[in-house]
A and B are shown apart, each in its own frame.
Chain A
Amino acid sequence: EAQVTQNPRYLITVTGKKLTVTCSQNMNHEYMSWYRQDPGLGLRQIYYSMNVEVTDKGDVPEGYKVSRKEKRNFPLILESPSPNQTSLYFCASSLNGPNTEAFFGQGTRLTVV
């Protein structure tokens, strides 16, 4: 089954404690993105990747890092989480580009206290 898998689904952490949200896709897509979803704002892109070792900032990259060492994996790293990063995070992958039809993971609900 074609899917994008994120882990964990839920996470509560404290300010400043580094964390990683993993994302893996099994569709051999070159393009992957991270979005955050906040009430009234829809989804906003954090980072995207065009291929292995090729990543770039989206609209709201501050406080986040990503890496793309393998085609299937695109982890999101929060080096020093802050309460304003409390949000619902989605990983997405696409066949034809980050601005085309995307497949989304189940989401990770992060709370930073």
Chain B
Amino acid sequence: GNSVTQMEGPVTLSEEAFLTINCTYTATGYPSLFWYVQYPGEGLQLLLKATKADDKGSNKGFEATYRKETTSFHLEKGSVQVSDSAVYFCAHGVAGGYNKLIFGAGTRLAVHP
């Protein structure tokens, strides 16, 4: 079936540390892939996306590459800031006539000074 699995949190890092949040998916066909971020008390905001294999999405220093062979879309950032503290959701758009986004459970990131 269609699903998204992302690493459990919370992830706790010091400022300027390297961040990786793993995400793998199962899907019919080749769906678009997304990372959304949810800051405390707010809705989800699109962080980045990739629509086909080997595409790299990037925004605000975050990057993720669509890896078809490993069905993965890991989120990375070279140097995190306190302001990056949030919950991060990996998602894919279900292809093949389905009309929804499939979300992972979310990973909470806490960055300390």
Contacts and interface: CB of A to CB of B under 8 A. Distances in A.
B31 A42 contact: no
Contacts of B43: 4, 90, 104-107
Interface residues of B, number: 24
Contacts of B101: 33, 43, 45, 98-99, 102
A104 B100 contact: no
Nearest to A46: B100
Interface string B15-53: 000000000000000011010100000111110010000
B99 A48 contact: yes
A97 B98 CA distance: 10
A99 B4 contact: no
Contacts of B4: 42
A4 B32 CA distance: 22
Contacts of A44: 103
A43 B46 CA distance: 14
Contacts of A100: 32, 93
Given A58-B100, A99-B95, A99-B99, A42 B105 contact: yes
A105 B32 CA distance: 21
A99 B92 CA distance: 8
Contacts of A107: 42-43
Contacts of A58: 100
A101 B34 CA distance: 8
20 contacts: A4-B43, A35-B103, A41-B105, A48-B99, A50-B99, A59-B100, A90-B44, A97-B93, A97-B99, A98-B100, A98-B101, A99-B94, A99-B99, A99-B100, A99-B101, A102-B46, A103-B46, A105-B43, A106-B42, A106-B43
Given A33-B100, A100-B93, 13 more contacts: A33-B101, A40-B105, A42-B103, A43-B103, A48-B100, A58-B100, A97-B99, A99-B94, A104-B43, A104-B45, A105-B43, A107-B42, A107-B43
